[in-house]
Amino acid sequence: MMCWRKRVIGAASTMSLPIQLISTDFDGTLFAEFESPPIPEAVHNAIGELQARGAKWVINTGRDMSSLMEALARSQIPVEPDYLVLVEREIYCHTDSQYVGLEEWNVACARAHAELFARVREDVPRIVAWISARFHARLYEDAYSPFCMVAGNNGDADVIHEYLTEYCHGIPHLTVVRNDVYARFSHEAFNKGTALAEITRRLGLTPEVVFAAGDWLNDLPMLSRRYARWLAAPSNAVEPVKQAVREQDGHVSELSHGNGVAEGLKVCLARAPRR
């Protein structure tokens, strides 16, 4: 794909940057639905300054394309992500004012999920029955998973998450992706971390120059030194995320949402050795 060739060539000019790839979750990390503006100026300025010096930015989200594009349009930010990871697994590259799927990765991803879900589908009615007998939750199938859930509250979601995790132990490669009261089944080989690793590889970079920020459990796969040397979480992140970031020498901000990410970028840049 042309977009990758352009960026590999452009990467040579970023060699002095200690952070050359920025991976951010969207909801709760950059975007706060009920704040004005929903994406603060501090974070899009920080990202834009690094992009101007040759760094690349990926939004790594559980949203699908239409939902993310609508939210970005409402946010009216002046910077564009160079890449998207959608539904925690599909990769898209910004080319000629649109986002084009990375076919090789996305086809393999779709095939792996189809094969896995063929084994799971017959168990879904039993799972739905167990949950429905105990909790008020919205349970449904969509284009990305034969089982999706919106629980009534986080307490219910915690109990259901335990039940689903135990079920996954009996199905090779099956995992639960959880974000707040939302959950769905997914293939363990395709997540925010492995998608970030693929983008890093295609740009000819290493994790040593990658920054990642997130706030919820579905961000944990990318909040790992395996994929990103520089880690950050805003103050509104859930405790397991804060703990994971602290244990890996990352930065947990006292500021929330995008302001916390902006501070995390600043702190990590200050701590990073000059290249």
> Which tens digit of pLDDT belongs to each residue from 150-195?
999 999 999 999 999 999 999 999 999 999 999 999 999 999 999 9
pTM: 0.93
Q: Is residue 95, in this structure, part of any structural domain at all?
A: no
Residues 110 and 178 in one domain: yes
Total domains present in the chain? 2
Angle, CA of 87, 152 and 188, to the nearest 5°: 30
pLDDT at 68: 97
Q: Is residue 100, in this structure, part of any structural domain at all?
A: no
Q: Is residue 93, in this structure, part of any structural domain at all?
A: no
Final residue belonging to a domain, choices 165, 187, 209: 187
d(CA 63, CA 26): 8
d(CA 101, CA 208): 26
Name the residue range of residue 237's domain. 2-88+191-271
Final residue belonging to a domain, choices 187, 204, 220: 187
Using DSSP's 3-state secondary structure scheme, residue 1 falls into coil
Angle, CA of 75, 76 and 79, to the nearest 5°: 105
CATH of residue 32: 3.40.50.1000
Query: Residues 58, 67: contact at Cβ < 8 Å?
Result: no
d(CA 240, CA 89): 22
In 6-122, beta strands by DSSP E: 21-24, 56-60, 83-86, 90-95, 98-101
